[in-house]
Amino acid sequence: IQLTQSPSSLSASVGDRITITCRASQSISIFLNWYQQIPGKAPKLLIYAASSLQSGVPSRFSGSGAGTDFTLTISGLQPEDFATYYCQQSYSALWTFGQGTKVEVK
Amino acid sequence: EVQLVESGGGLVQPGRSLRLSCAASGFKFEDYGMHWVRQAPGKGLEWVSGINWNSDTVDYADSVKGRFTISRDNANNSLHLQMNSLRSEDTAFYYCTKETGDTWGQGTLVTVSS
């Protein structure tokens, strides 16, 4: 199962609302997670099962979608949100990740 | 505290072997499938291998199939990755993670170079 993220990078300012999309090559129901990774650190789970907010993650992060099309939205970008974001499917035991979206300061 | 700690990384010559370990604590290890995920320097995340709770089912990425072996020891709360016939393209940080994705280790760096 291939996951295609877009865009591969984006420039934004603090306070902006941004959306990242992830498209699966086949239906994966809601078996889709979103991660944030800061350079030098392990990935951090933000959203699981497409739209469920992981405990401790700020509510400005939200996820939606099912089947093949998914989105991650950050409403009100904060300085600590500049990072790389990955989608990941667990529909198949052979996990796959999107190629990542780097969110940079405009 | 739920924690995963990887060890065993280092510099190894092409064609040689290395065994990674992941020590789990703070949760009932035997209840969860576990995975290895790697990240080459400056690149994205790549799933490597997964194992179910009782080792009945193991899976591998095509890039490592036949060279890497995943295993676990539920009695000692540990996960392992035996890596044989290493190639330069195996150079990466290797992370272990729970099947839920909510817990990751800090990663261990494997460098394959002559």
Residue among B50, B61, B104 whose CB faces A43 most closely: B104
pLDDT in tens, B20-72: 999 999 999 999 999 999 999 999 999 999 999 999 999 999 999 999 999 99
pLDDT, mean over chain B: 98
Q: Which residues of B touch A97 (CB under 8 A)?
A: 37, 44-47
- Which 3 state secondary structure label does DSSP give B84? coil
Q: Is A101 on the interface with B (CB under 8 A)?
A: no
pLDDT tens column, A16-69: 999 999 999 999 999 999 999 999 999 999 999 999 999 999 999 999 999 999
**Structure confidence at residue A51 (pLDDT):** 98
Is B2 within 8 Å of chain A by CB? no
Residue whose C-alpha is closest to residue B95's, from A87, A93, A1, A43? A43
